[in-house]
Structure 1
């Protein structure tokens, strides 16, 4: 018995849900997949799957084995891919999805330096603040900002993303500087429409008030617009420092209620899978890791 192939057959059956779909994925027959599973169970001395006419169910032993087997196979694939990369130059078109404001402000130097290091790689950068479907829309990598939930995608954290509450000195002089969260209910709020409402619940509670249709709000799906409105004295804004940092450093905006700063989010590189990862993707992930500094350069305004 080829234990690696048997292990791969087992993991694929669990992921696909049926022997038939697993066989299609492995380009083999359902009978051979079933044989691999039986041999694996005999070798281990435990039942891994309970089979019915319609579904398969993991046993307790199967569930434990599945988690470890997934990691073993991933490590094997990573090792083989890395060895292959030593012989393969990164090349081809790299399709990247990135948030609009972050990309406009921070992606050009990164991509320029990356292409100097990997001249055979072309770049197709698409800007969009919505969460794209990487597989369906044909992206190699998506940069995402937030607190990522569990999914089948692989995510590598690249940098912390800090949210600050700020307003222009002129606005604060005219309307007063909030000293407590409850003071925010008397102020105009410049709200980013994609903002996660659990990011800083105390701040959002007072900024939005009890009325979700608060007439004191200005709402936009672009953070740069809101920052420019805040600089012009339109109200108080909660935005990441990779957008607001320059204005804060230049004195155009002032941070308020720093003790109420929400928990940091993260900037992530998200991609579909570890297995058979193309050299162009691996090279980009390795290159961007640490590129922005620790802390990231946009936070160096205090």
Structure 2
């Protein structure tokens, strides 16, 4: 097998975690991949992968080799594309990671728009809310919400979305609307499962910390929004999550002078000097789309 192709297979085996998935992606057989990588290890005199009946994992030497060889392969692919005159027509696979709610509501749509414009690109979009290690998980671009960034990543701040208190007209018709932050103690507060019942709110240079009890806690932003829409109580939500509902009037601002800490939006890439054309184009494309979302204040 061609040496460059073998190196590509090695990279994908590390990222996918087994020979079979890498073989399917490369339109070849699992024994062919296994044989090629065994030959690579024999040629190098180093064990790169630990094998089990269902998966493979890189050894410490294999991980170091992966981190060095992947950007070199990307440079090779880019050089081939450049020689063919394809620099303005990006090709290849992009692995993108996004938070669940923002991903479902917006990022998925933006990815499909990008694919329509760039037919040579493939995208693997994974939703989760945990802080992923971009290198270990083979992620090219990650969308992250909040101020904390993972180590070894380059962050590009896209903007921020103000957190506002909202409730449904039905709930507000049944419960006296709060007039000041401490009134929230008399309301049901729908919040994230692991967040405290204390709310820190700001207005006109003042900060108040108030207790906001609630019987319903959930670890999904869309579930919080939907519960508030259905009259379960008051929620503190980023504007991007509730902008359309506020525009339609299905959600109303509560304590409109007061806001929570704004939610920052970042795009992350691994800390590599080389960046394929498809990644650079996608970063610019996604940054523009996210910054233009209703409820997002673009970074200056």
Count residues with an aligned counterpart.
218
**How big is each residue's C-alpha offset from its partner over 1:86-142, in whole Å with a ceiling of 9 and x where there is no partner?**
863422111111111111111233112211222111010011112122111121111
Q: How does 1:1-302 map to 2 (within 5 A)?
A: 88=87, 89-149=89-149, 151-193=151-193, 200=200, 205-208=209-212, 216-294=214-292, 296-298=293-295
**How big is each residue's C-alpha offset from its partner over 1:141-188, in whole Å with a ceiling of 9 and x where there is no partner?**
110111235843111122322211111122122221111111111111
**Whole-Å Cα distance in 1 between the matches of residues 194 and 240 of structure 2?**
16
Partner residue in 2 for 1:72: none
**Whole-Å Cα distance in 2 between the matches of residues 173 and 124 of structure 1?**
45
Q: CA deviation at 1:297?
A: 2.8
Give the match's secondary structure for 1:162: strand
TM-score by length of 2: 0.63
Q: CA deviation at 1:279?
A: 1.9
Give the match's secondary structure for 2:136: helix
More helix by share: 1
Change (3 A) 1:267 1:222: same
Q: CA deviation at 1:198?
A: 9.4
**Whole-Å Cα distance in 1 between the matches of residues 218 and 283 of structure 2?**
31
> What root-mean-square deviation, in Å, do the aligned CA atoms of Structure 1 and Structure 2 show?
3.3
Mapped contact 1:246–1:298 kept (Cα < 8 A): no
Mapped contact 1:168–1:232 kept (Cα < 8 A): yes
Give the match's secondary structure for 1:131: coil
Give the match's secondary structure for 2:216: strand
Q: Structure 2 stretches of 5 or more lacking a match?
A: 1-63, 69-74
Give the match's secondary structure for 1:242: helix
Q: Structure 1 stretches of 5 or more lacking a match?
A: 1-23, 28-76, 209-213
The higher radius of gyration belongs to 1
Partner residue in 1 for 2:3: none
**Whole-Å Cα distance in 1 between the matches of residues 148 and 111 of structure 2?**
24
Q: CA deviation at 1:207?
A: 3.9
Give the match's secondary structure for 2:271: coil
Partner residue in 2 for 1:62: none
**Whole-Å Cα distance in 2 between the matches of residues 199 and 87 of structure 1?**
53
**Whole-Å Cα distance in 2 between the matches of residues 238 and 121 of structure 1?**
38
More strand by share: 2
Change (3 A) 1:147 1:281: same
Change (3 A) 1:264 1:134: same
TM-score by length of 1: 0.63
Mapped contact 2:90–2:120 kept (Cα < 8 A): yes
